[in-house]
Chain A
Amino acid sequence: MTTITDNALQARIEAAQRQLDEHTYEIVQWHFHESTGCPFWLEKKRSLKFDPLTEIRCFEDLQKFPPFEDDWLRGGPVERWRPRAYANRPTFVFETGGTTGIPKSRVVIEDHRIDYELFSDTLPDQYFPRNSNWLMLGPSGPRRLRLAVEHLCQYRGGICFCIDLDPRWVIKLIKKGWMEHLEAYKQHCIDQAITILTAGHQIKCMFATPKLLDALCLSLEARGTNLRELGVTGIFSGGTEFTPQWTRYCVEELLGGPPEESGIYMTPTYGNTLMGLACSKPISAADKYKITYYAPQPRAVTEVVSFDDPRQIVGFGQTGRVKLTTLTKEFFVPGFLERDEGEREEPCELYPWPGVSGVRPFHQLAESTTVGVY
């Protein structure tokens, strides 16, 4: 990999930073201007000790904002988050998992489409062939992911098949200790997937959560077949279970080896309703399946910050909490502390801005977090 000392890379890093600063200025102007901003931020502006329109000129200036509280995203009216400029546009509302009371919600006009179109550019056509059909083996209901994957598929010229999956019920089953029901529900999802995969729809690509991908491969194996035989060549997946060890298990044991051997390319992703989708550098055995995510800058930025002081970015290779900033015309979130932690990674040629590796549940919250199917 090219190192940070390389002049060309350094130039790209600086260009990316300039782009981020310009984008930040533009987005803050948009959200805090009376004619375009959303009621929440226009109201919030009155309580700020600075004027965002004049004092936020670059990304670093976002530190002036107080910490973003996730409770601001809970409850209604959800319209307070819709920018006035989009008042007459058809609007979606997407919710997070909802494992702890009222779920966080986010309004979206077309961000999910834009994010996944950008993500589409990172998928290799060899394994995610254009015009091929997809299976969405993940949560349905009020989640962004289901519509986003469907759009990704359609954007690439295919038709997307989906299953019914309610992750909140899964969380309840786990908390109640109803493991038999949990197993039965998982099997119910897998049965739906196998029915679709074996019904002659020529599905070549899929999204799957790690747990469902695992269960799907094991179920197929028990039936004497596998994803390769069924024609699947490209999988994208996501979740904090994506450890190097799990990835190794997935590639070596579930899929049958690296893409050049198995014919199946699997790419991990890290994302959520608030941010969109961070891509991973290609994974390999030579790199011990290390997974490093890079946010889709400048639309979203992930930073790794000190556990004690979220304004302090940790050094490269050091561990900290993931801090997220979303900068789109539809949604502005400065400095949201995620429920995850990881190590800060150096920029690379493909993504000339810092990344994060080893993403896992934030250790101080991990005890109370129930990881379900995604």
Chain B
Amino acid sequence: MIELAPLRWGKPYESLETIEVNHFFTGEPMARIGTVNGGIVTRDLRQAHKARAVLRQFSIDDLIQRAGRAAELFESGTLTVGSGPQSPDDFVRQQSASTGLPEHMCRGNIQKNAFVLKNMAQILDALTRGLDLSILSRGYGKESRDVIVSFQAQSPVLGAVLPNNSPGVHTLWLPVVPLQIGLALKPGSQEPWTAYRIAAAFAEAGIPPECISLYPGGHDVGQAILGGCQRSMIFGSLQTVAQYAGNPKVQVHGPGFSKIFLGDDCVDRWPDFLDVMVESILSNGGRSCINASNIFASRHTREIAAALAERLGPIDALPPTDPQAALAAFTTPGMGASVWKMLESDLRESGVEHITEPYGPRLVEHPRCAYLRPMIVHADSPEQAIVAKEFMFPFATVVQCPQAEMIARAGYTLVGTAITENEQWIQELADATNIDRLNIGPIPTNRLNWLQPHEGNLIDFLFRSRALQMAAAHPALASVC
């Protein structure tokens, strides 16, 4: 069993309190994690400026190089993580065992994180729209058009309250360290693995360990991070989103409600797009905010739902080691049954039909976990309550809705794939502020281009573009030319 100690600016802290992470199926202990209390976090964050100071001893270009080396180590190295060595295979087994995610999906997440680390230069170039990165480092500099610009870091560290059980979100905070900003993370209680392995890979790649703190713990730790960092991320439910809405210090990542819109000009060719729809619903066990939870179309909705059900309905829960496993387990006791109970209630509404019903029971219960098999529902109107639901398994509602009403009815949409060639509608989609990421054409919602910002540009969140003027003859001017 691996032991993970909290890291207080890189230094392991021997806690007197631990939590145990167990195998979701067998109950076998996987890890013992030391925890801290909120007060420790608050005290440590008073030293947060030192994290940025130590990173500023390296140029951003240098840190990008080291991130590339960290990518290799993360992907294929045996690293010292907590109390012992951890190979990539160990990591995959551990992550799968505690999260219920199939092992091949855990491998996929390794590659996704490594891709971001390896391509840091291009990603930062895209996020900054080509800004000379030394300007972020110094806070000011001269652009190619011979104008002084200033980007001021708004916080020496980024805090993040990571989700308990979603290994797919870590790419969001990976670019922070190369931007010379430290990290104060609360790792997920069932998925501490990625944060610890990234920290180990960064250290092995020569990035100073004292720029990262890892604080496993309870709710008070999350509150302390959000209260003590000038900039933080949190992942959570709609309630969490509502709680932090309008708080400029907190970037909140909630349910995605990602969708596919089939335009009237393309909907008659719907079988051509069936693969796109299946992938959007099913990838990563349907657990991501970028999985589609709605398919909007004005006609053929019953046929589309039936075809999706035919593809997805028979998918069964397989052991996590099976390369064909497509579903992730609900590892929190009672959660699978509770989700199913909610669904049963929604399905009783008139105008709502469960299309995967003929393919057997959806809820599969085991002594320590449960699975929900893929589920396709048909709704004859966007008014139905189930249309606004998103779950942590492959679930989608095919919604009958006139094209003219789709944008307004869609509500918040993290990823919207619009399958259309209608230029006027494309313009309306591009103007729609309720759609965050817009894909034009048959692009699965889960396929993110990392050269595009995700749910708000990290640069805009961490840096403020502000005015900075220099007197004509000022000696500092020479250094920015």
> Which chain A residues have a beta carbon within 8 Å of chain B's beta carbons?
177, 179, 183, 214, 218, 221-222, 243-246, 248-249, 253-254, 288-289
Contact = CB atoms under 8 A, between A and B. Distances in A.
A249 B37 contact: yes
Interface in B1-60: 15-17, 35-40, 42-43, 46
B345 interface: no
A218 B42 contact: yes
Given A245-B16, A246-B37, 16 more contacts: A179-B223, A179-B226, A179-B227, A214-B38, A218-B39, A218-B42, A218-B43, A221-B46, A244-B17, A245-B15, A245-B17, A245-B37, A246-B39, A249-B36, A253-B39, A253-B40
B42 A243 contact: no
A248 B39 contact: no
B239 interface: yes
A218 B17 CA distance: 22
B39 A177 contact: no
Interface of B: 15-17, 35-40, 42-43, 46, 223, 226-227, 239, 243
A316 to B, nearest CB: 21
Nearest to A214: B39
B243 A288 contact: no
Nearest to A243: B17
- The majority secondary structure among interface residues of chain A is helix
A275 to B, nearest CB: 26
The 4 closest A-B pairs by CB, nearest first: A245-B17, A245-B16, A214-B39, A244-B16
Contacts of A289: 16
Contacts of B42: 218
Contacts of B36: 245, 249
28 contacts: A177-B239, A179-B223, A179-B226, A179-B227, A179-B243, A183-B227, A214-B38, A214-B39, A218-B39, A218-B42, A218-B43, A221-B43, A221-B46, A243-B16, A244-B17, A245-B16, A245-B35, A245-B37, A246-B37, A246-B39, A248-B16, A249-B36, A253-B39, A253-B40, A253-B43, A254-B39, A288-B16, A289-B16
A222 B42 CA distance: 11
Nearest to B228: A218
Contacts of A183: 227
A248 B36 CA distance: 11
Contacts of A246: 37, 39
Contact of B39 (A179, A244, A249): A249
A249 B40 contact: yes
Contacts of A222: 46
A246 B220 CA distance: 12
Contacts of B40: 249, 253
Contacts of B239: 177
B235 to A, nearest CB: 16
Nearest to A241: B37
A214 B39 CA distance: 7
A361 to B, nearest CB: 12
B136 to A, nearest CB: 29
A222 B243 CA distance: 28
A177 B16 CA distance: 29
B244 to A, nearest CB: 9
A179 B249 CA distance: 14
Contacts of A243: 16-17
A293 B270 CA distance: 70
Q: Which of B37, B42, B227, B239 has the most CB of A within 10 A?
A: B37
A222 B38 CA distance: 16
Nearest to B34: A245
A93 to B, nearest CB: 33
Nearest to B223: A179
Nearest to B243: A177
A222 B228 CA distance: 13
A183 B42 CA distance: 13
Contacts of B227: 179, 183
A183 B35 CA distance: 23
A156 B17 CA distance: 36
Contacts of A249: 36-37, 39-40
A114 to B, nearest CB: 34
A243 B239 CA distance: 30
A134 B226 CA distance: 34
A70 B36 CA distance: 34
Nearest to A288: B16
A183 B223 CA distance: 10
A218 B43 CA distance: 7
